[in-house]
Amino acid sequence: MSAQLLKHVLSGPSVMPTSPNPPGKDLKLFQPKKNTVLVSHGRPPWYGEDGKKIGNAFVIGVAGGSASGKTHVAREIVRALGSIPTVIILSQDSFYKHHSSEELVLAHANMLDFDHPSAIDMPMFASCLADLKQCKQSNIPVYSFAEHQRLQETKYLYGATVIIAEGIMALHDQSLRSLYDLKIFVQCDSDLMLARRIKRDVKERGRSVEGVLDQYLRFVKPSYDNFVRPTSSYADIIVPGSNNAVAIELICTHVRRQLRERSNQFREKMAIPHLSIKSKSGSHTPPPELEELNLTVHPNTPQMKGILTILRDKNRSRQDFIFFVDRLSTLLIEHALQHLPYLPSTVVTPIGVESPGKKLDAMHICGVCIQRSGGCLERGFRRVIRDAPMGSLLIQSDAVTGEPMCLQVMLPMAIRFRHMAENSWVFLLDAQIGTGAAAFMSIRILLDHGVREDHIVFVAFLVARGGGISILRRAFPEVKIVCAAVDDEMEEGWLEGVQDELTNPHGVGRKVWVMQPGMGQIGDRYYL
Ligand SMILES: Nc1ncnc2c1ncn2[C@@H]1O[C@H](COP(=O)(O)OP(=O)(O)O)[C@@H](O)[C@H]1O
Ligand SMILES: Nc1ccn([C@@H]2O[C@H](COP(=O)(O)O)[C@@H](O)[C@H]2O)c(=O)n1
């Protein structure tokens, strides 16, 4: 076991940057090549068409004596589930209680009992695990074995599909056991555990052989006999502490099957954002009336018409496009500010006269771009709302299943912590709402973090009336959506992929829904 303070492993998706098109290249539609397989390692939807979460993360509890091989088993499971997005290990060590200075003196003399169940902050362990299981974020304490102390910092975790909770007391409390979908006990010979512990604690935890033996005889062994070993009766599977590759493979087969069953359930119930879109097969559900959608559309002034005309024009230079995108985003964010709360405020002018006015009544305001095209609104946002923290979300649709995939979540501090998220106003930025799938997933992510639905202001240049907007509206009626214009149609097509050694070595394309008349691929026109 390594000396990492938090045994936290992320597997699966490394961030997949979008593959850029060469400058000036128009959107090119073509049919997918036969036998083209695109595998996306992002996280598929974990919610249904109504926006509510379906099911939870799969949680595995791994208990066993100290140095029995719990971490090894957990890491081997992570490795074997490599293609599954985001498998995390949550170690019980992170939940050792904070120690007073008197306790620290005892700890350094090997006189403090770290092997009694009361040494662990069980309510906190269970609460963090419950949050992660319910797809919420959690900020996990960080523990130092060298200092025998919980540190000031915390580790932010969010979005796991599988969570492995490991520790000597992982099966001890009912509050933890009730959270597991699978309970494992690692059974290991006592001599082997002692030998491994001496080696590990001397090498990785800065201990002496005498100290380790002293602690072992005083606390570790009696605790194993009294508290740890008896919990093996709660386990679904007993795994040997060595030569356990077959047992681990069997566990992984079980987990994969469980996840497959859940994912079919997701797919049946997930948002179907194309209901009212004109498809290649010709079926066409009439789009909803504009009033039904409850959008805040910027007044169609001559100035707004002029900007939109420039942006829709494929012959405009990139410099023009960038300049007018920045102008449009500034105007839209200004317009969106009407949704924030204001309080009366009276000031005194330089000539000493009282002037009644308004002041913003929002504690935290932040922006979150849906990458990549949401980044086009960032400059406008920063011009209007000074010093607001920005975050980003990377969501792409899987070319095979068409499902949106969450590839990266980078949220500002104000949203990472639940108590702050509950008081935050968040401007969610994307260039357009077409199928609505990325908007849907982004809103779900913010709600998972505790942001209030009516504190989310979604700002987009364009919304497709015939796209997923009506489903989005039904699922999240309180989210404010601000746009410059509403286009009627969405057309299905295929965007040719550009070969790129790093991000797209085979040059595979992806299925896209194109807005009509639209502005083309706004991100490509702005960034390339
Ligand atoms: N199946 C195994 N085969 C060989 N060595 C193992 C095995 N499991 C664990 N070990 C070794 O034993 C030591 C303790 O294992 P670890 O998984 O960290 O224990 P725990 O998390 O239960 O305290 C580590 O050095 C690890 O490499
Ligand atoms: N400050 C501490 C805290 C805990 N321990 C020992 O760690 C053991 C649990 O960790 P494993 O990775 O071995 O499961 C436990 O037996 C405690 O004695 C410690 O030595 N110092």
pLDDT digits (tens, 9 = 90+) for 21-78: 333 333 333 333 333 333 446 888 899 889 998 889 999 999 999 999 999 999 999 9
Please, which pLDDT band fits residue 339 given cuts at 50, 70 and 90? very high
Whole-angstrom distance, CA of residue 336 vs CA of residue 457: 7
Q: Which atom of ligand 2 is nearest to the CA of 1?
A: 12
User: Does ligand 2 lie within 6 Å of residue 212's CB atom?
Assistant: no
ipTM (interface predicted TM): 0.98
Q: Residue 354: exposed, middle, or buried by beta-carbon count in 10 A (0-12, 13-18, 19+)?
A: exposed
User: Does ligand 1 lie within 6 Å of residue 244's CB atom?
Assistant: yes
User: Does ligand 1 lie within 6 Å of residue 242's CB atom?
Assistant: yes
- Ligand 2 centroid–CA 123 distance in Å is 19
Burial per residue of 432-462, b for 16 or more beta-carbon CB atoms within 10 angstroms, e otherwise:
bbbbbbbbbbbbbbbbbbbbbeebbbbbbbb
Q: Which of 263 and 174 is assigned the larger pLDDT?
A: 174
- Ligand 2 centroid–CA 129 distance in Å is 20
User: Does ligand 1 lie within 6 Å of residue 444's CB atom?
Assistant: no
Tell if the pTM clears 0.80, that is, is over it.
yes
Q: Which of 91 and 1 is assigned the larger pLDDT?
A: 91
Q: Which atom of ligand 2 is nearest to the CA of 67?
A: 13
Interval 312-321 mean pLDDT: 94
Interval 429-436 mean pLDDT: 93
Whether 411 contacts 424, CB under 8 Å: no
The residue nearest atom 6 of ligand 2, judged by CA position, is 114
For residue 4, pLDDT beyond 60: no
**Most ligand 1 atoms within 8 A of CB, residue of 1, 7, 92, 248 to mutate:** 1
User: Does ligand 1 lie within 6 Å of residue 91's CB atom?
Assistant: no
Whether 476 contacts 454, CB under 8 Å: no
User: Does ligand 2 lie within 6 Å of residue 168's CB atom?
Assistant: yes
pLDDT of res. 12: 30
The residue nearest atom 17 of ligand 2, judged by CA position, is 114
- Ligand 2 centroid–CA 64 distance in Å is 12
Whole-angstrom distance, CA of residue 186 vs CA of residue 488: 60
Strand partners, 183: 61
